[in-house]
């Protein structure tokens, strides 16, 4: 899909850990905070559950952006899941950008259960960045996902 297509809206996949970030998203909801609706959420038990393959596959499937969020370091429900995740994401982000995936396609955040406002703000920022980048074309598999053609 062309960026010039008037009705293009970014589609952003979010992996949220159920104990902190997902709860934070819930809080944003009950607090009636406004944030862009471009986001689709997958709940995972812990940010440490996230296999970098999920993110690579999401980019392949045509998602315009990926947001990964977990508990603040030290607050992980499983004690150390997010510590491992932090290392993984550091490597993954650098490798993806080095390999030519545009900076700004993949985002990471620490959002706690009480940070409804932070959640809304983060989603807003991420959506804005990705809107500027335009539709994802790199790594997107032809004829796969979102009806996009290469």
Residues forming the site for another protein (CB under 8 A): 52-53, 56-57, 60-61, 73-74, 80, 83-84, 86-103, 107-110, 122, 125, 138-145
* Beta carbons of 59 and 52 less than 8 angstroms apart: no
Structure tokens that stand for 29 in this block: 């909801």
Distance, in Å, from the CA atom of 76 to the CA atom of 53, rounded to the nearest integer, reads 22
Which residue in the block uniquely carries the two structure tokens 């009806």?
147
Residue 125 sits at φ, ψ, to 5 deg, of: -65, -45
Closest approach, Cβ 103 to another protein, in A, equals 7
Closest approach, Cβ 5 to another protein, in A, equals 21
Q: Taking the CA atoms of the chain, what radius of gyration do you get in angstroms?
A: 15
Structure tokens that stand for 35 in this block: 């944030």
Closest approach, Cβ 35 to another protein, in A, equals 14
Closer CB to another protein, 6 or 19, in the complex: 19
Selection from 21, 97, 1 nearest residue 55 by Cα: 97
Closest approach, Cβ 86 to another protein, in A, equals 5
Closer CB to another protein, 6 or 22, in the complex: 22
Closer CB to another protein, 6 or 81, in the complex: 81
Closer CB to another protein, 9 or 125, in the complex: 125
């Amino acid at each position: 899909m062309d960026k010039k297509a008037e009705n293009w809206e970014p589609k952003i996949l979010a992996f949220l850990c159920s104990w902190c970030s997902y709860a934070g998203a819930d809080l944003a909801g009950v607090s009636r905070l406004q944030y862009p609706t471009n986001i689709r959420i997958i709940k995972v038990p812990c940010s440490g559950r996230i296999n970098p393959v999920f993110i690579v596959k999401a980019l392949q499937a045509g998602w315009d952006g990926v947001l990964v969020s977990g508990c603040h370091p030290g607050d992980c429900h499983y004690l150390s899941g997010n510590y491992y995740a932090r290392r993984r994401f550091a490597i993954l982000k650098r490798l993806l950008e080095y390999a030519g995936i545009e900076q700004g396609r993949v985002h990471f955040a620490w959002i706690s259960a009480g940070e409804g406002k932070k959640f809304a703000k983060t989603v807003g920022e991420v959506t804005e960045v990705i809107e500027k980048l335009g539709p994802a074309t790199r790594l997107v598999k032809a004829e796969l996902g979102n009806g996009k053609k290469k």
